[in-house]
Chain A
Amino acid sequence: MLSPLILIQILWTSLATSSCFVLFALAFALVLKVNRIFNFAQAAVMTTAFYAAYTVVGLASGPGWAGLLAGVAGAVAMSAVLELFGFRALRRRQASSMFVFIFTLIVSELISYVAMLIYGTWPATIFPSLFWPVTLVGTIAVSQWDLMALGGTAVVLAATFAFLRWSRTGQSMTAVADNPDLAEFYGIARDRVFLAAMLLSGLIAGFSMFLYGTRAQVQPGSAIELLLFAVAATIIGGIGNLAGAVVAAFVLAIIQNGSVLFIPSEWQGFLLYAFLFLAIVLFPRGVRLPQRKRLVRRTPAPALGPAES
């Protein structure tokens, strides 16, 4: 019998676990919105971030903050390399979207093989232990990691949306996402905006991969599977809709984690892929909720006929 306390505990844990996935989805959705690329090379960025942090903390016994910095720096550097030497060249050649897709997939594989060669195929974690101190809040077990992940995610989300809303570069990203040719006509340097979007995406992916690596084991090929979750959330949330991707990632993660109540845990992965397939087949333009009726102030339209003399 499922008690409300167990249900609340599962919901809380699902919410905390979903935080990394929300940021993976945000990073993916941002590049898709601005650069119009299904960037599967984000898996390469995530792999770089994890192993940079692992090298500093797990292998060199450095402090956690140094691992975070190394992870984020690695991710941003990989994003810059991808944009400057990959996507920019492909854009100049007017490569088809399939060609760009293959490029992103191959880069992800390449980085995964490089990680395999250097670090082996065994799963690794950034800190030696995956256990975090737990406090009881009422009857709900809240771990220190849950608070760190949720707090960090909230800060990153707020900072990203504030950056896009109020900073000059963020506004340029929105302009380029809406109409790249018109944006360029108004003097916005498209290449710089594409680079900025990639760097911001790398920053978010690096931070979220650090969070993920402090809670779960990672192998060189793990990132591509994690990324598929972000793809599903982005599609369900509606392409070009960052907030939609964030909400969809939260909901998907909670459903996936909560599904242990109804299906065996080994089928959780299947659930994700079923979401991905059904989301695209049934909702290729994302899930659109019915819009609320807005109060619109109606003003009489001016007469367009010839003026009376």
Chain B
Amino acid sequence: MEYLYTLAILMALYVILAASFNFVIGYGGLISIAHPVFYAIGAYASALLARDAGWPIPLAIVAGALVALLASILVAVPSVRISGDYLLIASIGFQLGVLEAIKNIGWTGGAGGLTNIPALLAPGSNHAIYVALTIAVAIATVVLLRWISRGPYGRAMSAMRDDELAFAALGRNALAMKVAIFALGSGLAGLAGGLYAHYFRFLAPGQFDILQSAALLTMVVVGGLRSTWGPILGAIVLEALPQAITFLDLPPSLLGPLQGILFTGLVLIFMFARPQGLIPAGDIWRGRKAMATDARRA
């Protein structure tokens, strides 16, 4: 039963990560893959504040999210001047640099990892409470991001993404909007990090590396970029399917690589068989009637 709880918690956390990542790269058009590093910053900040500074855990989780948000602003201000492939590569440099620093700093636990992180739940508590908590945060995240992306600010985001020059010509500040999108997405990733840290109670830099970036990117793209439900479905499907072989009772030396092969193989199949994603994004700024008319004409 505990295995299923753990799986449900991981899925809920990945829903938060995929939805917030979709907000940054899909709605905001900011091609960065450093999302896991803000997940890491939130996790480490929350864990250290609770463990070493004695902060109450709920407060530490919120503070961890704020630290991730502030860190993302510091990175975004110089970085969002560049765009496209360049921003993508810069984000790789930032992510790996921060992880390398975590590996070499003593108080973060170094490469061996950070242990003895206090748990949010008291010993002997029902783990279903934590499942409910993470699912509630995941639902709140999706609702918040959907509300923003479908409102006036979302329309402005869409305009900025599609034609930044025209957007600026209308007197709007594209840089401020990019920083705000990046910060909100990263802050939510930091929140997921705090929730992760106080359940699993162990953090290591390897958990947030470039493979994690590839997994998140895949969840969003395979699920359906810029759609509300696509990344959620992507997170659940791609987290659940590789678990299928855990019941085969294979040795860990085989299980890890086989899960990896299954995951990457599935992604490649999805990329070629359904490149538009499992749930393709509709044009949300056009009425349903107009889209239906287009469909009839086609």
Interface residues on B, range: 35 or more
Q: Do residues B89 and A110 form an inter-chain contact, with CB atoms below 8 A?
A: no
- Which of A121, A228, A274 is close to B92, meaning CB atoms less than 8 Å apart? A228
**Alpha-carbon distance A264/B100, docked complex (angstroms):** 13
Given A106-B264, A270-B104, A284-B82, residue A276 in contact with residue B93 (CB < 8 A): yes
Cβ–Cβ contact A280 & B257, under 8 A: no
Contact residues of A between 172 and 212, Cβ < 8 Å to B:
none
Q: Using an 8 Å CB-CB cutoff, how does the interface string of A104-145 with B read, 1 for contact, 0 for none?
A: 011101101110110011000000000000000000000000
Contact of B63 with A by CB under 8 A: no
Mask: chain B, 253-291; 1 = CB below 8 Å from A; 0 = not: 110111011001101100110010000000000000000
User: Does B147 sit at the interface, judged by CB under 8 A?
Assistant: no
Task: Name the residue on A nearest B220 (C-beta).
Answer: A102
Give A103 to B101 CA distance when docked, in angstroms: 28
Decide yes or no: A102 and B256 within 8 Å by CB, A95-B275, A228-B92, A232-B93 being known contacts: no
Is A274's CB under 8 angstroms from B89's CB? no
Q: Tell me which residues across on chain B come within 8 A of A269, comparing CB atoms.
A: 96, 100
Instruction: Please judge, given known A-B contacts A38-B85, A276-B89, whether A270 and B261 are in contact too, CB under 8 Å.
Output: no
Interface residues of A in 265-305 (CB under 8 A from B): 266-267, 269-270, 273-281, 284
In Å, the complex CA distance between A270 and B95 comes to 11
Known: A113-B257, A280-B86. A274 touches B268 (CB 8 A): no
Contact A102 B218 (CB under 8 A): yes
Closest residue of chain B to A111 (Cβ to Cβ) is B264
- Give the total of A residues in contact with B, Cβ under 8 Å: 42
Of B100, B217, B258, the contact of A273 (CB 8 Å cutoff): B100
Known: A93-B275, A224-B210, A273-B100. A109 touches B89 (CB 8 A): no
A-B contact pairs, 20 of them (CB 8 A): A95-B275, A97-B84, A97-B85, A99-B271, A102-B271, A106-B214, A109-B264, A110-B268, A113-B257, A113-B260, A117-B257, A231-B89, A231-B92, A270-B97, A270-B100, A276-B93, A276-B96, A277-B90, A277-B93, A280-B93
- A residues contacting B by CB (< 8 A) are 38, 89, 93, 95, 97-99, 101-103, 105-107, 109-110, 112-114, 116-117, 120-121, 224, 228, 231-232, 235, 264, 266-267, 269-270, 273-281, 284
The 4 closest A-B pairs by CB, nearest first: A276-B93, A277-B93, A273-B97, A113-B260
